[in-house]
Structure 1
Amino acid sequence: MDLNATLLVQSFTFLVFVFFMWRLAWPPIIKAMQDRQAKIADGLAAAEKGSKSLNDAALKSEEALKVARVQAQEIIGAANKQAAQIVDQARQDAESEKARIVASGHAEVEREVTQAKDSLRKQVGELAVAGASRILKREIDTKAHADVLNELAAQV
Structure 2
Amino acid sequence: MNINLTLIAQALAFAALIWLIATYIWPPLLRAIEERQQKIAEGLAAAERSQMDLAKAQDQVDAAMREARSKANEVIDQAHHRANQIIEQAKNDAVAEANRQKEIAQAEIDAAANRAREDLRRQVSTLAVAGAEKLLKREIDANAHKALLDELAAEI
TM-score when scaled to structure 2?
A: 0.88
1:93 corresponds in structure 2 to 93
1:122 corresponds in structure 2 to 122
Amino acid at match of 2:46: A
Superposed counterparts of 1:1-80, under 5 Å: 1-80=1-80
Give the deviation of 1:81 after TM superposition.
Answer: 2.0
For 2:143 and 2:94, the matched residues in 1 are separated by: 52
Deviations 1:65-96 (A, max 9, x none): 11222222222222222222222222222222
1:155 corresponds in structure 2 to 155
Amino acid at match of 1:104: I
Give the deviation of 1:102 after TM superposition.
Answer: 1.5
Which sections of structure 2, spanning at least 5 residues, go unmatched? none
For 2:145 and 2:3, the matched residues in 1 are separated by: 178
For 2:13 and 2:150, the matched residues in 1 are separated by: 160
Deviations 1:97-149 (A, max 9, x none): 22222222212111110111001111111222223233333322211111111
How many residues end up aligned between the 2 structures? Answer: 156
For 2:36 and 2:11, the matched residues in 1 are separated by: 34
Q: Which moved more, 1:43-52 or 1:97-106?
A: 97-106
For 2:29 and 2:134, the matched residues in 1 are separated by: 151
CA RMSD between the two structures: 1.8
> Secondary structure of the residue that 2:60 maps to in structure 1?
helix
> Secondary structure of the residue that 1:144 maps to in structure 2?
coil
User: Aligned pair 1:110/2:110, yes or no?
Assistant: yes
Amino acid at match of 2:81: K
> Secondary structure of the residue that 2:140 maps to in structure 1?
coil
Amino acid at match of 1:145: H
Which sections of structure 1, spanning at least 5 residues, go unmatched? none
TM-score when scaled to structure 1?
A: 0.88
1:140 corresponds in structure 2 to 140
